[in-house]
Amino acid sequence: MTSTPSHAAIGIGELASRTHCKPETVRYYEKIGLLPAAPRNEGNQRRYSEATVQRLMFVRHARDFGFSVEAVRELLDMADHPSQPCDQVDQLARRHLAEVESRIQRLMVLRDELKRTVAQCDGDSVAQCRIIEVLSDHRLCGHDAAHGGAEALR
C-alpha cells in the first residue's frame, strides 16, 4: 500500500490517481488556472493538500457532467462564495441541460436516418449500395435539411 496519512503532503501522481486523471492533466489545470499553483518541495516537485484533492474532484466531476472548462471555472468561483444566492449555478446547469437535450435530439435524428439507410443495403456491390447512393444524393434522405451529425458532437 502507498496510502499517505491525511496530514502528509501529496505528490502529483497520487493526486492524479485519486481523482482518476493523469499528472499531465493536473499540470494542465494548474496552467489554465483551474487549480492554484501548487507549493513545491525542496526538489521543486508539487505537493498537494487534501483541499486540492477535493477541488480537483469537483473539477473532474463537473467535467464528467459535460460542463466545459469555462463553465467549471464559473462553478468553482460560485462554490468559493457559498453565501451568495445560487441562481447563477442553477441557470448554468439548466442551460447545460438544455444543450445536452438538444444534442440528444440531433443525434437521434441522425441515428434514425443511419439506421434506415443501413437497413436498405442488400450487401451487393458498391454500385448498388444504398449507403453510397444516399451519401451521393441528399434528396434520398428522409430529411432534407442537414442532419446535424458533426454539429451534434460539439
Partner DNA sequence: GTAATACCTGTAGTCACTAGAGGTTCAAGC
Partner DNA sequence: GCTTGAACCTCTAGTGACTACAGGTATTAC
Which chain residues interact with DNA by CB under 7 A?
11-14, 16, 21-25, 27-28, 38, 40-46, 63, 68-70, 150
Q: How far is CA 87 from CA 15, 68, 102, in A?
A: 32, 19, 22
In the bound state with DNA, the residue whose beta carbon lies nearer, of 84 and 102, is: 102
- Which of its own copies, DNA, none does residue 116 bind (CB under 5 to 8 Å by kind)? none
Task: Report the residue number, 4 or 120, with the smaller CB distance to DNA.
Answer: 4
Cα 78 to chain centroid, rounded: 20
Would you tell me which residues interact with its own copies (CB under 8 A)? 20, 54, 57-58, 61-67, 75, 78-79, 81-87, 89-90, 93-94, 96-97, 100-101, 103-104, 107-108, 110-111, 113-115, 117-118, 121, 123-129, 131-132, 134-136, 138, 146-150, 152-154
Residue 120's nearest CA partner among 106, 102, 141 is 141
Beta bridge partners of 142: none
CB 75 within 8 A of CB 95: no
The one-letter code for the residue type at 21 is C
If contact means CB under 5 to 8 A according to the sort of partner, which of its own copies, DNA, none does residue 49 touch?
Answer: none
Nearer to its own copies, 36 or 39 (CB): 36
Q: What SS3 state is found at 146?
A: coil
Q: How far apart are the first and last CA of the chain?
A: 41
Work out how close the CB of 94 gets to DNA at its nearest, in angstroms, rounded to a whole number: 18
CB atoms within 10 A of CB 153: 10
What minimum distance in Å lies between the beta carbon of 128 and DNA? Answer: 27
